[in-house]
C-alpha cells in the first residue's frame, strides 16, 4: 500500500510539473507574440546589424514603392491603446530648440486636434516625441532619451539646418532610434520648408511692390554677416565684385541696420534690382530666407548660389531667379546683369511671376501643424525606423553637401573678409 501511495504522490508531482511547464511555455509564447508591441528602438538595439524583422511582421525597406537602404517599414496589427479614441494627439517636445523654449512657436494654434507640451512626465501618453538635432547629445546616449516608449509612439528627428551645420553630430550612433524626420527636405516625413509658393503668394496679396525697375536706385546688394572667407559664396562674390559694384551690408560690410531689424533691411533691399541670395553651404534643397524673404518678398531678382538649379526650379516661381550655374564665370554673370540693367523689359520678365500666380498651388502644412496632420493621417499599424540616419541625411557618399575648406575656427577674424 505504501508503494502505491508513493507512486501516486510521484505521479501527482510529475503532473503538476508538466502542467507548470506548459503554462510557462504558453506565457513565454505569449510574450514572444507580444514582441511587436516593443518599439523599434528596443528591437534594433538588440541587434546592431539592424537586420532583424519579427516573423509576425511584414518587413520592408520601401517608400512609395522604391527600395530604401536608410529605413525599414512594416505593419504591426497588434492592438494597443491609442489616443485615436479621443481624436486628440499629444506631442511632447523632449528638447529645447537651440537652447530655447520654443513651445509656443512649435504649437499648432489652427487646430484643436493636437496638444503640445514640453512636460517630459507626459511622454508615456504621447503620440509623438520631438528631438531637435542641436539639443541632443553629439553621440547617442540612452540615458538622455525617454525611458518609456509605447509601441504606437513616433520619435521625430527635427533639423531645420543643413547637414554641414550638424557635421559634428554622430548620426550613425542614432541609427535605429528615430521613426520620422522633420526637415526642409522634400523626402522628410514631416516637411518644414524654409519658404514656399503658398506662403509667398499669400504675402504678395499684402504688398504693392512694382513689377519693374522704377524707383530702384541701386544695382546689386547683399546682406551678409558670416564673414568666413572660405565659404564658397565669398570666393565667388569677391570675383564678381571685380566686374560690377556690389553694395554689401551687415557685419561683412556697411552696418546700416541693427542685426535683428528686418524691416530696415527690407527697406534697403527694395532699392536694388538684384540681391545676392548666396547660401553659406551648397546642399541639396537647402534654400533659405535669403532667397524667399530677402529677395522674392521684396520685389528683387535673386542671384542664387547654393543648391543645384533643379532644386530652385522645383520650389521657386517660374523664371524668378538667376543661378550662377548658368554662367561660365563671375565675369560672364556680371555682363548679363549689366545687360538686364540697361533693358527694363528683359529685367521685368524676372518679376512677371508676381502678377501671374500658377493655379492650384498646394498648401504646405509645416512644423507642429505638419506633425499633427501626419499623426491623424498615418495608419496606426504603420511602423518605420531609420536604420541609417547618417546616410539618409548626408548622402551615400556625403554628396548632399559640398565640403568646405575649414580652418580651426570659422569665427577666427584672421580668416574673415570685409567689403569696403
Residue 125: give its domain's CATH number: 3.40.50
Q: Quick one: cell of 248?
A: 554689401
Residues 164 and 62 occupy one common structural domain: yes
Residues 292, 378 share a domain: no
pLDDT score of 86: 56
CA atoms within 13 A on the CB side of 140: 15
What b-and-e string marks burial along 126-135, b requiring 16 or more CB atoms within 10 Å of the CB?
bbbbbbbbbb
Classify residue 106: in a domain, yes or no. yes
Strand order, beta sheet including 272-278: 246-249, 218-223, 272-278, 301-305, 322-323
CA triplet 46, 52, 53: central angle to 5 degrees? 125
Q: Are residues 159 and 203 in the same domain?
A: no
In a domain, 48, yes or no: no
394 lies in some domain: no
Same domain as 176, residue 221? no
Per the structure block, which three cell numbers stand in for 217?
536706385
| Same domain membership, residue 203 and residue 188 | no
Residues 220, 349, single domain; the answer is yes
Tens of each residue's pLDDT in the chain, 420 residues: 445 455 555 554 545 544 444 444 444 433 333 323 333 343 433 333 333 333 223 333 444 334 467 766 656 655 555 555 557 999 999 998 888 877 877 778 777 889 999 999 999 999 999 999 999 999 999 999 999 898 889 999 999 999 988 888 999 999 999 999 999 999 999 998 888 777 777 777 656 554 455 679 999 999 999 898 888 899 999 999 999 999 999 999 999 999 889 999 999 999 999 999 999 889 999 999 999 999 999 999 999 999 999 999 998 999 999 999 999 999 999 999 999 999 999 999 999 988 877 666 666 677 788 999 999 998 877 888 999 999 999 988 888 887 665 555 656 677 788 886
Last residue of a domain, one of 310, 332, 355: 355
Q: Is residue 160 a part of any domain in this protein?
A: yes
Cell readout for 198 is: 503658398
Contact 191, 160 (CB under 8 A): no
Q: How many residues does the chain have?
A: 420
In the structure grid, which three cell numbers stand for residue 100, read together?
A: 530655447
Pairing of strands 62-63, 66-67: antiparallel
The C-alpha atoms of residue 60 and residue 385 are separated, in whole angstroms, by 11
Q: How many structural domains comprise the chain?
A: 2
Assigned domain for 25 exists: no
Closest residue by Cα to residue 118 from 144, 88, 136, 95: 95
Query: Cα 392 from chain centroid?
Result: 12
Structural domain harbouring 345: 198-355
**pTM of the predicted structure, to 2 decimals:** 0.78
* Residue-level pLDDT at 144: 96
154: left (phi over 0), alpha (psi -120 to 50) or beta: beta
Do 162 and 84 lie in one domain? The reply is yes
Which residue is it, cell 518605420?
384
Residue after which a domain boundary falls, among 332, 355, 378: 355
The grid cell for 203 is 504675402
Q: What does the pLDDT read at residue 398?
A: 83
Q: Are residues 204 and 329 in the same domain?
A: yes
In Å, what is the CA distance from 11 to each residue of 1, 8, 22, 297?
15, 5, 16, 88
In whole angstroms, how far apart are CA 381 and each of 82, 181, 389? 11, 18, 22
> CATH number of the domain that 342 lies in?
3.40.50.11660
Helices 330-342 & 232-240, crossing angle to 10 degrees? 60
Q: What is the predicted pLDDT for the residue at 59?
A: 37
The answer as to whether 318 is a domain residue is yes
Residue 336 CA to residue 322 CA, distance in Å, equals 10
In the numeric block, which cell numbers belong to residue 412? 577666427
Long-range contacts, stretch 325-329, CB < 8 angstroms, 24+ apart: 329/239
Q: Whole-angstrom Cα distance, residue 66 to residue 373?
A: 24
Query: 3-state secondary structure string, 357-407?
Result: CCCCCCCCCCHHHHHHHHHHHCCCCEEEEECCHHHHHHCCCCCCECCCCCC
Locus of grid cell 512609395 = 64
Amino acid at each position: 500500500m505504501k508503494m502505491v501511495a508513493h507512486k501516486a504522490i510521484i505521479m501527482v508531482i510529475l503532473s503538476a510539473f508538466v502542467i507548470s511547464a506548459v503554462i510557462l511555455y504558453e506565457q513565454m509564447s505569449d510574450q514572444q507574440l507580444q514582441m511587436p508591441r516593443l518599439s523599434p528602438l528596443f528591437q534594433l538595439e538588440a541587434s546592431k546589424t539592424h537586420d532583424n524583422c519579427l516573423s509576425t511582421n511584414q518587413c520592408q525597406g520601401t517608400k512609395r514603392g522604391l527600395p530604401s537602404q536608410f529605413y525599414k517599414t512594416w505593419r504591426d496589427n497588434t492592438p494597443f491603446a491609442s489616443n485615436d479614441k479621443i481624436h486628440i494627439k499629444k506631442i511632447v517636445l523632449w528638447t529645447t530648440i537651440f537652447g530655447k523654449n520654443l513651445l509656443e512657436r512649435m504649437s499648432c494654434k489652427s487646430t484643436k486636434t493636437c496638444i503640445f507640451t514640453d512636460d517630459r512626465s507626459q511622454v508615456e501618453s504621447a503620440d509623438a516625441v520631438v528631438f531637435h538635432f542641436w539639443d541632443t547629445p553629439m553621440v547617442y546616449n540612452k540615458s538622455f532619451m525617454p525611458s518609456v516608449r509605447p509601441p504606437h509612439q513616433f520619435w521625430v528627428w527635427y533639423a531645420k539646418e543643413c547637414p554641414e551645420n550638424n557635421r559634428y553630430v554622430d548620426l550613425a550612433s542614432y541609427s535605429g532610434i528615430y521613426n520620422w524626420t522633420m526637415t526642409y527636405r522634400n523626402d522628410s516625413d514631416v516637411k518644414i520648408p524654409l519658404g514656399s509658393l503658398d506662403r509667398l503668394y499669400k504675402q504678395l496679396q499684402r504688398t504693392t511692390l512694382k513689377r519693374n525697375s522704377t524707383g530702384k536706385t541701386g544695382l546689386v546688394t547683399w546682406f551678409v554677416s558670416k564673414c568666413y572667407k572660405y565659404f564658397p559664396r565669398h570666393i565667388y562674390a569677391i570675383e564678381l565684385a571685380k566686374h560690377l559694384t556690389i553694395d554689401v551690408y551687415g557685419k561683412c560690410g556697411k552696418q546700416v541696420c541693427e542685426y535683428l531689424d528686418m524691416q530696415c533691411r527690407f527697406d534697403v533691399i527694395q532699392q536694388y534690382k538684384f540681391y545676392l541670395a548666396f547660401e553659406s553651404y551648397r546642399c541639396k534643397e537647402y534654400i533659405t530666407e535669403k532667397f524667399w524673404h530677402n529677395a522674392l518678398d521684396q520685389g528683387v531678382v535673386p542671384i542664387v548660389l547654393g543648391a543645384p538649379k533643379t532644386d530652385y526650379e522645383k520650389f521657386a516661381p517660374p523664371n524668378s531667379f538667376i543661378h550662377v550655374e548658368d554662367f561660365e564665370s563671375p565675369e560672364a554673370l556680371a555682363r548679363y546683369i549689366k545687360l538686364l540693367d540697361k533693358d527694363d523689359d528683359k529685367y521685368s520678365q524676372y518679376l512677371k511671376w508676381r502678377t501671374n500666380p500658377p493655379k492650384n498651388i498646394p498648401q504646405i502644412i509645416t512644423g507642429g501643424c505638419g506633425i499633427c496632420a501626419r499623426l491623424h493621417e498615418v495608419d496606426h499599424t504603420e511602423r518605420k525606423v531609420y536604420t541609417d540616419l547618417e546616410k539618409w541625411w548626408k548622402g551615400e557618399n556625403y554628396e548632399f553637401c559640398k565640403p568646405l575648406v575649414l580652418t580651426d575656427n570659422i569665427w577666427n577674424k584672421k580668416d574673415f573678409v570685409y567689403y569696403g
